[in-house]
A and B are shown apart, each in its own frame.
Chain A
């Protein structure tokens, strides 16, 4: 069978798995339900790897599978394009989703309905990565969205309904504007495929004029809401902090990046896409710094992690936007794009691991407040964890996110900032690294030994209380992700080469050759290690500074800043207006 016949397996196999899980739910006899559910999960999360492996040779050669779904006429049908970019995004999605599903066996909500919705979310990720049709992109984003609202609401934390609801409302509103943007393009060109829109616009005088620009702005801003960059991030912290741990891992790790890479296909083809990418890149750099300051101010450990997601996605978007602005066919652009993708991939691994390990620690201790919880390692030990998997995996992930060698975060941040050196974004990202370091010193205090003098230790006060043992599924998932973090860190130069290779068939229009463009920057040079040392020292100083009365006062102001439901919508309309103004008057 030729690959273009079974390539949709990456989308349809998770759906088939979801269908099996739904059947397990509807026909539930106790004996069969579990088996059917696991069969569904295997079909949905295991079998797609076969498709991935089968398409690897083709993708490595720089080929791409293109065509119309169902072989209908291209004037009306849906275009898809499976290339290196899609392959990489699928790799990201299936690895984190697989680990998160295994973890979910030992925690939080589970059962056939959860599995089914989770698989549908995974399927939407795969579909988003390979669509080349703007209306199909809309549908994929909708499916992805509705699955995540349901998964967020499946948490038993108080406030999770409200978090899911505000996410639903904001992104629902944004999707209406996305639809209006589609209308604008269709009104101008009569096509829905990216390629059709691009050629249609090129044949119009002035590229479609104001309508073309505004449609682009609407589509970009609506996707930016899903990516959660600075003015549009407000929905994220609540929903990621209140979702069940495995869902948080997937939401933070994969779900917010897939739309970004899907958007890069649009922006690289359309006129003015480079300018839109440029502005998003600036917003990303600002996001990286501002979000980390807010993260440093948080008390709740998962909320702290959620703000870090915003900050790290800011890194990705900063490099991604700069790559789009200079064009990915230049050597700088290719370097930046590969750096952005690698950071997205590595962030998915280590942030997924952070959510899972912190989730295990806080669940076992029954306390999520960073200032209250101490000695989590010992608590876990009492809960039957002989070998301190959770503690070790947490520190692996923390070293990775703070960009300490030899973890994967060090490699991707080095690649990413190398391309930005000399710009003002670089200074912002450097400052953000200090904040990341400081806040992870703060978060790692939950594993420090408890202070004798403090009275506020709800768990330590009754050491005889029997504890729920840590489920082995949790340990397996954490161990897998930790190995992935270290392994990708050691193999980062090879991965970098692979990524640039794959991207050469990637989001660009075909025809140009990448050649020996992006050469990986030296990973372990005096320069990079010196930078790391500065970040370490600076981070410790920021951490100490935050502990002073003046510092903690400032952080309290940040923590208690007014946030409102209405603010989400106002910031969206201001974001759209700002982007439109930028595109119109640049």
Chain B
């Protein structure tokens, strides 16, 4: 179970680094946070899990999306 989560983590982080679309990257990052929150919970660190879920998956994603929304999309060159 833990191993599966770890593999998912690596795949999602690599996706968020290499994707061309910032929004996709942010969503992948938020998924990374969610999976790591689950992982922390399984590893019996509920405090860290709550923080990770609230900050990583919640607030930081929202902040990133807002930041991206106030930029403009350029046509691909």
- Asked if the two chains touch in their complex, CB atoms less than 8 Å apart, one says no
Interface residues of B (CB under 8 A from A): none
Interface residues of A (CB under 8 A from B): none
